[in-house]
Structure 1
């Protein structure tokens, strides 16, 4: 996926001391999380949910919980369903009683999701809650609402495999999408034992001391955004993402007067249309002429395989970059302090 610099074996052993809580185990166990999420049945919990014509399916989620829904939008791009993400204090558009609102918060305490809960209950929409506990578990009990309970041992961003494939199974059990078991089984088999370490080690060396910018096509933008957020949270560094072709109309010009040292990662796929491929090639030329280093990650296969191959490549890169910076990838102290300073959500 990229040129070779050093193998994982030559990655400095003493850097692992910064991973004080073994964050890497969450990356290495991704195939198991696929199984945990997908090999469930929710038919009993959701037996009262009615599938109706014109029903909107809205997933409310932020951060690590919201990214699962963003990636699901990419995966279900070609499906004839109205699948939306609400990642703020409310659900946009006209919400009705026939709509299905899935409240997804790993902690169960995300205030934007709780705000969406209040809106959905006020309108009388159908509601399903996905959480590991917290206030949303409480509300599910009080309202006798379907609750899909997640295990508690993950940092939210590391629970992506579990949350995505739990959501996928839920949509399947609701008969909103067709059976995906063959595709999921194939992905699990592919990812069992697949080694992303070398890619992460190599690219993290390139990114060391630079500001990463991640570009992709519009349909795969949630993958680029996942890269950005993992670099933010794991390596505690600024990173940015954008879409091709949107960045061709504004951001591209900024490289004429760059005030920083950047490294651009281009995520490309065999689904990119010819004009996007041409635009991406021209972007690469312009960046290199302006002295910007570029790495291209090209992914192939089923859409599910493309999504998660690219996602895990980014997750491992952010992990190894954190260690190169002497940073523990696990805690997000600034975010946690910010939440405490906000005070309780009334």
Structure 2
């Protein structure tokens, strides 16, 4: 079967019976729905000089990182993601804690909900329901509802918008509602360009074909750091691949030494996420790092963010990476939706 046939619309539909690709392509609509859901939750506007803390794990946490990337140097107070059982000691009465768990049952997140309350922080819950929603309502904590029926990682637009809106409500950042609405329009155009009905040489399908059989290492810098992490985790969960991510310029101080030897052990491939509007010094780093990796004999894929605003550029990379990961699953003959390794691990913990 040719590469084009392996990623035809029919082939993708057959390999994706639970509709992960459809959930990914729904991100534009999720953005506008998320704005309504935050507004409907009645989260009070309140200055939080201690900043915003997004407490969560996995797909419920990455929205905090993506929001912080989109806010960038417009932040007025820290916007921090907490992936742990405990909140940091400096989270106190002057902070807002956005406690996010898609299922409402994530044990680390439930522990953070209690810890943030004991610390005197203002809290907001972000969930489909479960124990988190029950505890929040019992303590009169606002609950931002998220639609159920999808994998937690597929709710990334809801998680990101909630973090952006809460950052504005607590004074940690200006309102970026206009940028979110603009991103919904752009992502609608990109979804049409990259969807299963698109040509075999669309950017999403071409990247998947190039990375098939490789062990990807995704690099980000500045605004693209958080999207690089998202790519890595989606390659893990959707693609069922070992994959890693790295940040520039830190990688130039260590990782760059390992590519030649690493290529002898595994089919490493680099993906460089570039922000066309990023600082010249970081873009130069990306260029030189890509050259160094190529000199070590590894294939390198360059990916540029799309859009005029930071929110658009961050979310364009998320949409593309999510589709690439799902298309890689199709090429490998695996269903992108189920995650038996995670479910098995949770069962052993119980």
TM exceeding 0.5: yes
Q: Which runs of 5+ in 2 are unaligned?
A: 196-201
The equivalent position to 1:133 in structure 2, one of 129, 133, 143, is 129
Residue 33 of structure 1 corresponds to 30
Asked if residue 204 in structure 1 is aligned to residue 201 in structure 2, the reply is: no
- TM-score normalised by structure 2 residue count: 0.90
Distance in 2 (CA, whole Å) between partners of 1:315 and 1:44 is: 28
Distance in 1 (CA, whole Å) between partners of 2:76 and 2:108 is: 28
Contact in 2 for aligned 1:196/1:312 (Cα 8 Å): no
Query: Offset of 1:244 from its aligned partner?
Result: 1.3
Distance in 2 (CA, whole Å) between partners of 1:226 and 1:213 is: 12
Residue 273 of structure 2 corresponds to 267
Residue 199 of structure 2 corresponds to none
Asked if residue 241 in structure 1 is aligned to residue 258 in structure 2, the reply is: no
Asked if residue 71 in structure 1 is aligned to residue 66 in structure 2, the reply is: yes
Equivalent position SS for 2:269: strand
Say which is worse superposed, 28-37 or 85-94, in terms of deviation.
85-94
Contact in 2 for aligned 1:7/1:202 (Cα 8 Å): no
Equivalent position SS for 2:61: helix
Query: Offset of 1:250 from its aligned partner?
Result: 0.8
Distance in 2 (CA, whole Å) between partners of 1:10 and 1:18 is: 10
Shift of the 277–172 alpha-carbon distance from structure 1 to 2, 3 Å rule, reads closer
- TM-score normalised by structure 1 residue count: 0.91
More helix by share: 2
Contact in 1 for aligned 2:50/2:91 (Cα 8 Å): no
Distance in 1 (CA, whole Å) between partners of 2:334 and 2:212 is: 13
CA distances 1:258-277 after superposition (whole Å, capped 9, x unpaired):
21112211111123323322
Shift of the 12–73 alpha-carbon distance from structure 1 to 2, 3 Å rule, reads closer
Query: Offset of 1:9 from its aligned partner?
Result: 9.5
Shift of the 80–326 alpha-carbon distance from structure 1 to 2, 3 Å rule, reads same
Distance in 2 (CA, whole Å) between partners of 1:191 and 1:95 is: 35
Equivalent position SS for 1:329: coil
Distance in 2 (CA, whole Å) between partners of 1:41 and 1:126 is: 16
Residue 347 of structure 2 corresponds to 340
Say which is worse superposed, 74-83 or 105-114, in terms of deviation.
74-83
Contact in 1 for aligned 2:46/2:169 (Cα 8 Å): no
The equivalent position to 1:22 in structure 2, one of 19, 23, 27, is 19
Shift of the 181–73 alpha-carbon distance from structure 1 to 2, 3 Å rule, reads closer
Q: Which runs of 5+ in 1 are unaligned?
A: none
Shift of the 312–7 alpha-carbon distance from structure 1 to 2, 3 Å rule, reads farther
Shift of the 286–158 alpha-carbon distance from structure 1 to 2, 3 Å rule, reads same
Distance in 2 (CA, whole Å) between partners of 1:56 and 1:182 is: 22
Distance in 1 (CA, whole Å) between partners of 2:23 and 2:117 is: 35
Distance in 2 (CA, whole Å) between partners of 1:234 and 1:7 is: 20
**RMSD of aligned C-alpha atoms?**
2.1
Distance in 1 (CA, whole Å) between partners of 2:181 and 2:12 is: 35
Distance in 2 (CA, whole Å) between partners of 1:41 and 1:308 is: 19
Query: Offset of 1:99 from its aligned partner?
Result: 1.9
Where do 1:207-218 residues align within 5 Å? 207-218=211-222
Equivalent position SS for 1:235: coil
Residue 320 of structure 2 corresponds to 313
Shift of the 41–123 alpha-carbon distance from structure 1 to 2, 3 Å rule, reads closer
Query: Offset of 1:180 from its aligned partner?
Result: 2.6
Query: Offset of 1:20 from its aligned partner?
Result: 1.5
Residue 192 of structure 1 corresponds to 188
Contact in 1 for aligned 2:93/2:120 (Cα 8 Å): yes
